[in-house]
Amino acid sequence: MQKEKLYGKTLNELIAVTKRVRLPGFAAKQIADWLYKKEIFSVDEMTNLSKKMREVLSTDYEIGLSAPIKSAESTDGTKKYLYKVLDDKYIETAYIPDDDRSTICVSTQAGCKMGCLFCMTGKQGFQGNLSSNEILNQFRSLPEFNKMTNMVFMGMGEPLDNIEEVLKSLEILASEWGYGWSPTRITVSTVGLKKTIKEFLEKSRCHLAVSLHSPFDEERRMLMPIQRTNSVKEILDIIRDFDFNNQRRVSFEYILFKGLNDTPKHIKELARILDGIKCRINLIKFHPIPGSEFQSPDNQAIINFKEALNAKGILTTIRASRGEDIQAACGLLSTLEQNKSKQP
Ligand code: SF4
């Protein structure tokens, strides 16, 4: 019988575990300490629990960490890791070092339901939600674990479509009994799901990034089918009504496609729809993916777009393209692995 994994459980869940196996209540906090403050790999290493307690616990439970099965390193230092999850699926995690900060980009689902036209993960279709164990294992089992300063939930999958496990992961990262990170070190990126965005805003204090990509209804629908049922207007209304404190950032991700969403008309409309929201726009150069006709704009066009938005009073930044030589576009590496495993 497979043992249940302890890593990825919240303190309340660990209290439930101690009750189930009849350990004293205080053991839950001790277990949390071992899981999130020390780097152990087995229950037997929890040496402040008695031998008997460890035996009882390890009958049904294990720590449950698993190392990445593959990695690729870019000439710019970015690394992509491939993890096996849900028995036979693959997900990607990126490690992005940059001067004094190191960011990990984690996945929250294997594949994705959202079907964004420019995304390789979207083309894989949905294969399953990751558990908080599988989300945080990407962080804990990364060779660079101890270097990490920031985390973005921007890998494969739509985080707010797996809200329960994402919120558990955020709780573990930001709680004093967990990793004790400031929520301002964490950003959750979403296409904008009205059903769960409020829950995320209310239950966490992490930064929010919304994938925008076009201010026009028709065009966004073509790029992102989610626009049909969850329009940007509805998402912006929720954001406008929410009381963000000064610490918390709202940003809009905007992938630039040459000749499609990079015109003066887009700049004007972006300024109109974002009016009254304290936010920034993060411009991203499109990374070509197989089978897509979209094209990358040249660097000067991106700079021009940024300056035009800045002139409209919208703080705009350009996300540096990283790891272009290692299948940087999210979903490429896992698609290759998936196809390989299907071959006879
Ligand atoms: S861009 Fe994000 S939400 Fe859209 S299909 Fe890809 S992984 Fe899913």
SS3 state at 240: helix
- The residues that are catalytic are 92, 330
- Ligand 1 nearest atom to the CA of residue 115, by list position: 5
Residues of the chain within CATH 1.10.150 domain(s) are 4-62
| Position 291 confidence tier, pLDDT thresholds 50, 70, 90 | confident
pLDDT, tens only, 98-117: 989 999 999 999 999 999 99
Geometric angle at alpha carbon 291, from 289 and 296, rounded to 5°: 45
Query: Which of 91, 92, 158, when mutated, tests ligand 1's pocket best, judged by the most ligand atoms within 8 Å of its CB?
Result: 158
pLDDT, tens only, 184-236: 999 999 999 999 999 999 999 999 999 999 999 999 999 999 999 999 999 99
| Position 39 confidence tier, pLDDT thresholds 50, 70, 90 | confident
Q: Cα of 135 to ligand 1 centre, how many Å? A: 16
CATH architecture type of domain 4-62: Orthogonal Bundle (1.10)
Q: Does domain 70-342 have CATH number 3.40.50.300?
A: no
Nearest in space to 129 (alpha carbons), one of 150, 146, 102, 109: 109
* Sole residue written with tokens 């031998």: 51
Where helices occur in 41-98 by DSSP H, the ranges are 51-60
Q: Cα of 302 to ligand 1 centre, how many Å? A: 22
Is this structure's pTM higher than 0.85? Answer: yes
Residues of the chain within CATH 3.20.20.70 domain(s) are 70-342
